[in-house]
Structure 1
């Protein structure tokens, strides 16, 4: 009686390590390398069953084949996709479940994508990340041989653990995303997170407070009235879609002009850590400077910075928020003449001569 090509002990150790990837998405390639050694395979790839993109975890051994697979759009005509429904029902699928021997010999995908890189046989383990279906694929060379029933029975152990890992990873990633935008919310910095397709995954209250007819979220996408800015945002999304996961995004700020309000500067920040996991697809954080009026510095900070009295500092804080001297005097319940005298005193102490100069100076504390 022959035994499986899979090392059961090594496979068990890999299964025990899957939780590491839930905490640190960067752990996937190393875990998949170990899985290949346990399964007698050359390479492994994580693929979303219904939305396939090149930006997925894989072993380095699959890089060249995947470049051709996605670069020449073979992923849209891969005959092995026929087996995905069976994989999602709990079976571990192999080539024999998807194609006939004649098809394997003649199919262009096998001949132009797999065989040039020495690849021949595959096994697919289906699992779920929320409502999204995923397949972990293992690839063997012709010398390593096909996956048989003994192999698939052992690999079936992976399916429930992969679903657990994906579910936990998604939950941890959402918490991380919320934390990232929430931190910026505390300083009234509007921010939102988008996935590789440009869909908004998360946004903070500061962003919601600033959205209007000129800058808004529609159908889970950022939309702006400024046509030039919108075209640049579309190009940004294209860059995100076609930039590999491990490559840093580099993009100049986008200026969004508005009709009756100051322009907004959109900047792109990277997503790191647990938030950057393949199941969420979070790819970039966008900050929107000047979308909402910034809070003026606290009067205590103004008093310390410029050696002015508490009463003078309270007046300056209100002026920095956009109020006029008359409006500030009413808010403080002091006479307008008193407010003007406070302002003259502050001019003298700060070396400024006009209100606009003073506000510009105070803005450095914001």
Structure 2
């Protein structure tokens, strides 16, 4: 078991390592399968060994996680005790229990041991499953398994911290290029967002009670479908790639794209599942006039006008902002066209935005 505990550190930076680690724990403990379950929030996207795949699917599909008689032992497990079937149920209760008969027995499983641990403040249990031939867990075996609890707590808590740092880094990088982004967990709740997103939220698009809410009903329906998929789909299921168009009342439409969360940020304890990136949520930043003048050999006055146009103003509004008449602004614009080799205002703006 000591060699298995030494491998737990691998899961801190590589969440996909959990399956192999649990397989090794099974081999050391004489068990056939293992599943990681959060004690207070049960979801189907938990790490498990391949040997339990069909059983876990049935377990969640028919809501057995809401009526598992073994859940009564969770407080004892979180107190440091390794719980087993015989600790919680009598032999007669085990024989007659519907969950045992409909979920465990059909797949050859009969006996279990649960090792409680913490991921930050969240309670989790590593459950080991044995077949009838392998027999129940004896006291001497549970004493050995109890040594895993503190190491699992250390690994899970550190994994959660590393995941949060990774998420903050991801959204922070997008912040630097003024790209609004939020991150959803397995329940569809917002667990991270950057300043660019906060700056763009309003009555049309906002976060309420950790949920992303949009006024556009069609877009909200699409967003609800994404959340439903995140909640129900296996951990590695592909997310929808079609962007969601969100229409706003007094501003231009926003395009929302759903991107997967990978690496250390995608650990089971943090629960991050998707990053939502918004295009056109906030006004475009005006390019620096000095840079425009240098790039295209414009006069300072021409560069100031072009910068305002690239920032989204009309030529009339730009002239008013600069304190010049519209004809002067039009002449400066014509000169900018000639110097940049462009012929229309959108063409000029697109060219300038490439260096912004």
**Shared fold per TM-score greater than 0.5:** yes
Asked if 1 retains the 8 angstrom alpha-carbon contact of 2:226 and 2:240, the reply is no
Match of 2:165 in 1: 175
- CA distance in 2 between counterparts of 1:333 and 1:13 reads 75
Asked whether 1:87 is paired with 2:77, we answer yes
Compute the displacement of 1:112 (Å): 1.4
TM-score, structure 2 normalization: 0.93
Answering whether residue 185 of structure 2 is matched by residue 198 of structure 1, we say: no
* Contact kept in structure 2, 1:243 and 1:249, CA below 8 Å: no
User: 2:102 corresponds to which residue?
Assistant: 112
Task: Give me the whole-angstrom Cα distance separating, in 2, the residues matched to 1:305 and 1:249.
Answer: 41
What SS class does the counterpart of residue 8 from structure 2 fall into?
A: helix
The 5-angstrom pairing of residues 250-329 of structure 1 reads: 250-299=240-289, 302=292, 306=296, 308=298, 312-325=302-315, 328=318
Q: State the Cα distance separating 1:63 from its structure 2 match.
A: 0.5
8 Å contact from structure 1 (residues 81, 98) kept in 2: no
**Residues 1:37 and 2:8 are matched in the alignment:** no
- The one-character-per-residue Cα deviations of 1:52-96 (angstroms, maximum 9, x if unpaired) are 111001111110111111112211111111111111111100001
CA displacement, residues 262-290 of structure 1 (integer Å, 9 cap, x when unaligned): 01111101100000011110000001111
d(CA) in 2 for partners of 1:189, 1:285: 12
Secondary structure of the equivalent of 2:276? Answer: strand
SS in 2 for 1:269: strand
The answer to whether the Cα contact below 8 Å between 2:284 and 2:312 also exists between their aligned partners in 1 is no
Distance in 2 between residues matched to 1:33 and 1:301, nearest whole Å: 59
SS at match of 2:89: coil
Aligned to 1:47: 37
Question: Does residue 219 of structure 1 match 2:183?
Answer: no
Q: Root-mean-square deviation (CA), in Å?
A: 2.1
2: CA distance, partners of 1:119 / 1:187:
53
What runs of 5+ residues in structure 1 fail to find an aligned partner?
A: 1-10
What is the distance in 2 between the residues matched to 1:302 and 1:270? 36
Deviation at 1:347, TM superposition (A): 1.2
What does 1:133-152 align with in structure 2 at a 5 Å threshold?
133-152=123-142
C-alpha separation in 2, matches of 1:328 and 1:147: 78
Q: Which moved more, 1:147-156 or 1:242-251?
A: 242-251
Task: Mark the runs of 5 or more structure 2 residues left unpaired by the alignment.
Answer: none
Residue 69 of structure 1 pairs with residue 69 of structure 2: no
Alignment partner of 2:7 out of 14, 17, 27: 17
Instruction: State whether residues 236 and 251 of structure 1, in contact with CA within 8 Å, keep that contact through their aligned partners in structure 2.
Output: no
Aligned to 1:344: 334
Give the CA deviation at 1:205: 0.2
SS state of the match for residue 135, structure 1? strand
